Amino acid sequence: VQLQASGGGLVQAGGSLRLSCAASGSIFRIDDMGWYRQAPGEERELVASITSGSKADYEYSVKGRFTISRDNAKNTVYLQMNRLKPEDTAVYYCNALISPWGDPDGLSYPYWGQGTLVTVSS
């Protein structure tokens, strides 16, 4: 099972970016999916999460600016980021709880994407 993230880049303050993260491999079920970010010298923090039923939750500082969504048919999670601020600059990581085919107990395990850099200039 792999997660492949894309969509990062350099943008001016006030601009927008859309991140994508596609899961592939021997997947039986995907439960919660989410986006984390880690700024230089900081701890990794949860930015947004979404359940398999598309119930979303957000870190306070991004509420109203970021929107998380998912396409279950494509095993993909998205993060639409609007009105970006310099403090949003970080490496963004996608995460998913995935139950692989063949797991005898049907348990889900956390998988991480490789990270994509978002830089917001002032």
The letter for the amino acid at 47 is V
What is the tens place of the pLDDT at every residue in 41-72? 999 999 999 999 999 999 999 999 999 999 99
Q: What is the reported pLDDT for 104?
A: 83
Residue 106 phi, psi (nearest 5): 65, 30
- Report the alpha-carbon distance of residue 115 to residue 122 in Å, rounded: 22
What is the tens place of the pLDDT at every residue in 17-27? 999 999 999 99
pLDDT at 105 over 90: no
Q: What is the reported pLDDT for 7?
A: 97
| Residues in CB range of 84: below 8 A, 6 or more apart | 11, 13, 14, 15, 16, 17, 65, 118, 120
Convert the chain into a string of H (helix), E (strand) and C (coil).
CEEEEECCEEEECCCCEEEEEEEECCEEEEEEEEEEEECCCCCCEEEEEECCCCCEEECHHHCCCEEEEEECCCCEEEEEECCCCHHHCEEEEEEEEEEECCCCCCCCEEEECCCEEEEEEC
Q: What is the reported pLDDT for 111?
A: 98
Q: What is the reported pLDDT for 103?
A: 83
Q: What is the reported pLDDT for 106?
A: 84
For the chain, state the CA radius of gyration: 14
- Report the alpha-carbon distance of residue 28 to residue 50 in Å, rounded: 18
What is the tens place of the pLDDT at every residue in 76-101? 999 999 999 999 999 999 999 999 99
pLDDT at 36 over 90: yes
Q: What is the mean pLDDT of residues 24-41?
A: 96
